[in-house]
Amino acid sequence: MEEEQINPELIALGIEIQTELIAIAMDEVEIMNFWDECYKAALKNKPKPF
């Protein structure tokens, strides 16, 4: 199974978000839960190919 390529702009955005979460003093568990919820929402809202 081929791994899907991730847009470099999305990686940069993720790093920026992660930095902000750390800056507002979120702990590691809260940050992991945040990303888990983001992933679940992305899977739920992923557009279907034609």
User: pLDDT tens across 1-50, in order?
Assistant: 567 788 889 899 999 999 999 999 989 999 999 999 999 998 898 877 76
> Which pLDDT does position 10 carry in this prediction?
87
What CA–CA distance (Å, rounded) separates 1 from 22? Answer: 34
- Whole-structure pTM value: 0.66
Determine the distance from the C-alpha atom of residue 26 to the mean position of all C-alpha atoms in its chain, rounded to a whole number: 16
**C-alpha 36 chain-centroid distance:** 8
